[in-house]
Structure 1
């Protein structure tokens, strides 16, 4: 299988960090008879090995505009996924984050990071900074050395550099901004990885995001003993039914039969708590004294690195207050701002082509100002999209300063309201069976389909092991802006349990999307897909044993009421008048996250016999008022 076929197969079966060069969907279609706008027509390509301070050479592709009448800034992307296509006569379909950049003219530079694809050296996943590891080099020194070389050898550069990247390249962008190189003027870390145990990609509060992590690492994590142009071939599962495949696989430890050559997967399983291994890969403590301007980009429906985008913005605000630090959050899946129109996710519509607006009005002006000294764009501190109402906002802070704290309380009889529960509110209980876990989406794929982030939840609410609480139909719009903070008072007959909280927008039965058309004859009517739709707005988990500390897990005492509280990722969503707000609670979410045996143990080494049924109780009385903390915006009566 060729490189590009392997990559396409990977992308079609998994939701991976973005692999190829930027802007593949963002290119403008060329009209018949129009001048050739391809990179080949307007750029020359050069491939070089750039030496680092320790002698390791990094493979780098440089695309320089043919127009020699002026100088150009450098726009850099460092990636572990390949600078495809290789060969100085081979050109990608287009260059940069969008067609605007290619048309304007930049020196585009793509680099295989240390130890990946055609670069020399040893690859280390989420390589810790020198200040943490004590090493002689890290990704920030590699960035610095690369920029030094480019400024001296890249023809017609103007001495100004920008860097951007999505997902893993977003991590390299975030680390690059710590290089301290004076020529690096602007960076856009987009969906960057910040912390692989707490909230990005592979774990959520200690729970393993099983299909995403496993499917990714079984190809990406294979050894690369020498430079190669061939991207690893994904694991072939032999089925599209992810629920059945992972259930047959058995305990988490059974994954090791597929990962004998995948060192990092086995290291992951060997470190089941937030120990020094994971803490060294937490980039947040390093985000200090940031010099370049920063434009962090994320998607409200990013299944992989929503956490990283929010955390990077807030951490730089806190630890580097003098930095020109801005945030953009749109209604996008992972990388959707560069790989889609951004007008929908599944059947949920967003009312416009949000990606093109962002590229034209935010990202392009940002880099033009800092790299070509164009007029400063009027960018807000936070440019954020309000889902549900489908409109952009320019805010002076995120979360917005006008937002007010409130709490939705679980009520007896499946109710949900802003009023505290009564003294005799009681409790609800359900039995969780790891052998029959709740699916995370109705049609379970082998990987992690991006649509799960807005998927209809009616299938789950009909199960006896899912508790459902909902408001009456709203009499006015309700807008929530900021993090969600579950606080549950629970008990279990086991010694461990997962607590999954899902916030859901319930559409009226008569709701129709604007582009819905009733079909055909009386004998062949197209059903209304959105009537009564239960849209997932945000869902997250707390692995119960980590409720007080990710470093030091603790068992539950069977039958003893216990407080479990945590912070979920932010939302900016309006529940429209006539809709309902729903909360679903459950203890399995399969195979999105690995199964908990429901006994206090190292789950990564649990045996089949360790997995036990347990009964979980959620209290909702005045003394134990389980609920969901949130921020209402703007303030409403």
Structure 2
């Protein structure tokens, strides 16, 4: 397991640093590395690596590009150089002063680490958070690195994306450009939770986030774990583990983060104070938020950070980019770009890096900050047509709401008067994939575009499908699931999948061996909602057995064209295992501690006045 976690750490580091594969010759020849401890206002010192262009002078000044991370600024040592610098190779070649910092409590920095550091709204001189640490770091850099041009940009992917988003709130006059990429915005809806539902597929990640270090560390200190991979069949691990309670007690009782999650099943103060969204007000510099449509970790974050800044901060130069990427995949070029089985085109990461990311930082850090960089408001990849689209507003103002009603296996634009029913047994949950090897992964990745044919025909899965489309239909924006349900039990989850059903004779431009693309059921979007939170995520409520009840919730956004000859499908179930923990289907104060004895079988009805509401382009 120690070796496994070291490999995991390396993967995380490479992903968040967006490193390109090369030796470090260019970096060593063109930059001088400096390692310093930068003091924060409360006396805690943060370890910082600074790469300074060798041709820096009074006549040749450079701006800063900074990344703050919990994943290590390695390699450590002033004679040890990274293989590449910055978000991409184009910015590295253009030269900036590149800054990397270990955040509080991580690796070589002092202090105590906490997950999603709460933002302090009204600060005294002693209060600290990620925005004050960002401010104090910028102040030190401006005063201590000679011949800088007085401008700072910041970026980061995944957890460093959160530090970037929190750094926006530093409100430092020198901070002119921020690019949070795959940022967490509210832990209730990103990474470990979806609408408060625990994402069991992240079970192996907890050593990384839930073990404090006791001294300065230049390598991972959290490598001890009793989790062993015993079979290529990753489902076996989760079957053998038992309930979420069993897994916690066996593996993670000493893990502070897992304990916090287990003890806070509702959206209480613990979660509320970790949301950045209420704090994102009066942003006055340039922000380019970046995400991937197939990011299994952080999709809610980029969409909602952009939307929040758009609503609260009219002075911000606010841009969003969403591509056909998994978590952080825009940071590395793969040539022919696939997500799981689906081909989306060539050199897509390069398009983003050259035409969007480089243009953004170059303009605001080396050009006229007061003028616009000329980027579109929203650059969104249509995952059905497989092409980039630009919008003046997002969601597009020209999109209209269209309802798709669920009745007797059909998906139509008018309501009926029928009832569909399925049988849900927590002891025999619906699988989230038929890729058993994939369940051994550190985090889930492929399920977001995976073929869903494996779930059809089960008595605990309802399927609703349109007729074959006679013209293209583009979903662009938000999606709502408006379900009217009744259950024989007092609690239930509702997993809703939006699926693109390919024609039987479909032949892709590029394919993977062994994949049957005819009648492929590609997941386009999906989400899960515990019925207990249908009225309030702070105060959960039991279902009344056999009573018709509304369970309404938002799926994540899409920009996807369902093409002529395809069909649109919705699948609904109440289990989604092992991607998500199993709901006992009995209302409990804390379902995280449910036992097998609490598991309750149920018959669940979906009434035909239920519908999916989508933003559809005319």
**Common fold by TM > 0.5:** yes
- The aligned runs of 1:177-256 (5 Å cut-off) are 177-197=168-188, 199-212=189-202, 214-231=203-220, 232-233=222-223, 235=225, 236-239=227-230, 240-254=232-246, 255-256=248-249
2:467 to 462, 467, 472: 472
Q: Which residue is 1:521 aligned to?
A: none
**How large is the Cα RMSD of the aligned pairs?**
2.0
One of 78, 87, 101 as aligned partner of 1:88: 78
Give the drift of 1:352: 2.8
- Report the Cα distance in structure 2 between the residues aligned to 1:598 and 1:340, rounded to whole angstroms: 44
1:238-277 equivalences under 5 Å are: 238-239=229-230, 240-254=232-246, 255-277=248-270
Aligned to 1:358: 352
Q: What secondary structure sits across from 2:346 in the alignment? A: coil
What runs of 5+ residues in structure 2 fail to find an aligned partner?
Answer: none
Pair 86,22 (structure 1): closer, same or farther in 2 beyond 3 Å: same
Asked if 1:494 is matched to 2:489, the reply is yes
The answer for the alignment partner of 1:122 in structure 2 is: 112
Residue equivalent to 2:65: 75
Any conservation in 2 of the 1:215–1:234 contact (CA below 8 Å)? no
DSSP-derived class of the 2:132 partner? helix
Question: Partner of 1:38: helix, strand, or coil?
Answer: helix
Take 2:324 and 2:16, find their aligned partners in 1: how far apart are those partners? Answer: 22
| Contact in 1 for aligned 2:182/2:291 (Cα 8 Å) | yes
Structure 2 matches for 1:281-300, cutoff 5 A?
A: 281-300=274-293
Distance 2:604 2:317 in 1: 47
- What is the alpha-carbon distance in structure 1 between the residues aligned to residue 161 and residue 135 of structure 2? 16
Bigger shift: residues 147-156 or 454-463: 147-156
Aligned with 1:595 (options 550, 563, 582): 582
Q: Which residue of 2 aligns with 1:378?
A: 374
Quick check: 1:59 aligned with 2:52?
no
Summarize deviations over 1:334-390 as a string: whole Å, max 9, x none: 111113448220121112322110110011011001101168542111111111101
Correspondence for 1:140: 131
Taking the aligned partners of 2:275 and 2:148, their CA distance within structure 1 comes to 34
Q: Distance in 2 between matches of 1:351 and 1:21?
A: 23
Q: SS of the residue aligned with 1:489?
A: strand
State the 1:491 CA deviation: 0.8
Distance 1:463 1:364, change over 3 A: same
Matched, 1:393 2:389: yes
Pick from 599, 607, 613 the counterpart of residue 619 of structure 1: 607
Could you say what secondary structure the match of 1:566 adopts? strand
Partner of 1:408: helix, strand, or coil? Answer: strand
State the shift of 1:174 in Å. 0.8
Pair 1:582 & 2:582 matched = no
Deviation of 1:587 (Å): 0.5
Is the contact between residue 20 and residue 83 of structure 1 (CA under 8 Å) also seen in structure 2? no
Residues in 2 aligned to 1:303 and 1:576: alpha-carbon distance in whole angstroms: 24
Contact 2:18–2:332 (CA under 8 A) maintained in structure 1: yes
Q: Do 2:285 and 2:315's aligned partners in 1 also have CA atoms closer than 8 Å?
A: no
Alpha-carbon distance in structure 2 between the residues aligned to 1:234 and 1:484: 42
In structure 1, what is the equivalent of residue 338 of structure 2? 344
Distance (whole Å) between structure 2 residues aligned to residue 184 and residue 570 of structure 1: 30
Q: State whether residues 19 and 81 of structure 1, in contact with CA within 8 Å, keep that contact through their aligned partners in structure 2.
A: no
How many residues matched?
604
Of the candidates 38, 63, 69, which is equivalent to residue 50 of structure 1?
38
Instruction: Structure 1 unaligned segments of length 5 or more: list them.
Output: 31-35, 518-525
TM-score for both structures, normalised by structure 2: 0.94
**1:164–1:190 contact (8 Å) kept in structure 2:** yes
Deviation at 1:253, TM superposition (A): 1.5
Q: Distance in 2 between matches of 1:396 and 1:629?
A: 23
Match of 1:460 in 2: 455
What is the CA distance between 1:206 and its match in structure 2? 1.6
- Partners of 1:319 and 1:528 in 2: how far apart? 46
Contact 2:469 2:565 in 1 (8 A): yes
Distance in 2 separating the partners of 1:598 and 1:132? 42
User: Quick check: 1:407 aligned with 2:403?
Assistant: yes
Separation (CA, whole Å) in 2 of partners of 1:111 and 1:218? 21
Q: Runs of 4+ in structure 1 displaced over 6 angstroms?
A: 132-135
1:335 aligns with 2:328: yes
Q: How far apart are 1:241 and its partner, in Å? A: 3.2
Report if aligned partners of 2:15, 2:331 keep a CA contact under 8 Å in 1: no
Q: Provide the residue aligned with 1:435 in structure 2.
A: 427
1:509 equivalent in structure 2: 504
- Residues 619/234 of structure 1: CA separation in 2 closer, same or farther (3 Å cut): farther
Structure 1 residue 109 displacement after superposition = 0.4
Measured in 2, the distance between the counterparts of 1:18 and 1:534 equals 34
Match of 2:595 in 1: 607
Q: 1:226-258, CA deviations, whole angstroms, 9 ceiling, x for partnerless residues?
A: 111122327443234332212221221221331
